[in-house]
């Protein structure tokens, strides 16, 4: 049971970190694409979604692993 509680805590706290990271990277992409002025809205939004998705995939396991280590050591 304690194990399950730790798992839930890890999942929740990790999400609070990696979701903003992915959103930030996606937003940064959108801002840069908008500032260059050359891209259609569809391309900017499509690119934002794709970059955000890949950033989420990259950050999720990294953050989750670190959070697990941190909570278990406590």
Partner 1 sequence: MTQLSIAELSVPVNGMTCASCVAHVERALKELPSVFNVTVNLATNKASLRYDPVQVTLADVRHAVDNAGYIVPADEMTLDVRGMTCASCVGHVEGALKELAGVVTATVNLGMGTARVQYVPGMVTASQMKRAVNNVGYEAVERAASTSADAADRERQARQDDIRQQGRNLIIAGAVGLVVMIGTFYDMLGPLKAFIPEFLSYKWVIGLLTTPIVFGPGRQFFVNSWRGLKHGVTDMNLLYATGIGAAYGIAVINTLFPTAGFGGEGATFFESAALLTAFIVLGRWLEALTRGRTSEAIRKLMKLQPKVAHILRNGQEIEMPSDEVEIGYLIVVRPGESIPVDGAVTEGYSSVDESMLTGESLPVEKKVGDAVIAGTLNRTGAFRFHATKVGKDTALAQIIKLVEDAQASKAPIQKLADWVAGHFILGVHVLAVIVFMFWFFVGYRSFFDPNTSFILSPYKLGEMGVFGFSLLLSVTVLVISCPCAVGLATPSAMMAGTGKAAEYGVLFKGAEAIENTSKLQTIIFDKTGTLTKGEPSVTDVIASDGNPSALLRLAAIAEKNSEHPLGDAIVRGALSGGLSLVDADSFNSIPGHGVEAKVENTDILLGNRKLMREKGVDFVALMQQAEKLESDGKTVMFVAINGMAAGLVAVADTLKEHSAAAVARLHKMGLEVAMITGDNHRTAEAIARQVGIDRVLAEVLPQDKAEEVKKLQALGKKVAMVGDGVNDAPALAQADVGLAIGSGTDVAKETGDVILIKDDIRDVLVALEVAKATMNKVKQNLFWAFIYNLLGIPLAAGLFYPLVSVIISPEIAGLMMAVSSITVTLNTLLLKGFKPSTRHHEQTPGELNLRPIAIQAGIIRN
3 forms part of the interface with partner 1 (CB under 8 A): yes
16 forms part of the interface with partner 1 (CB under 8 A): no
The Cα diameter of the chain in Å comes to 55
- Strand intervals (E) in the chain: none
Chain residues 23-42 in contact with partner 1, contact rule CB under 8 A:
29, 32-33, 36, 38-42
Measured from the CB of residue 19, what is the shortest distance to partner 1 in angstroms? 12
CB atoms within 10 A of CB 64: 17
Residue 49 and residue 22: Cα distance in Å, rounded? 10
Tokens 């999400």: give the residue: 15
Residues contributing to the site for partner 1 (CB under 8 A): 3, 7, 10-11, 14, 29, 32-33, 36, 38-43, 46-47, 50-51, 53-55, 57-58, 60-65, 68, 72
């Amino acid at each position: 049971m304690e194990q399950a509680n730790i798992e839930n805590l890890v999942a929740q706290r990790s999400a609070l970190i990696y979701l903003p990271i992915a959103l930030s990277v996606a937003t940064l992409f959108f801002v840069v694409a908008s500032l260059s002025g050359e891209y259609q809205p569809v391309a900017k939004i499509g690119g934002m979604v794709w970059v955000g998705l890949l950033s989420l995939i990259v950050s999720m396991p990294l953050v989750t692993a670190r959070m697990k280590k941190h909570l278990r050591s406590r």
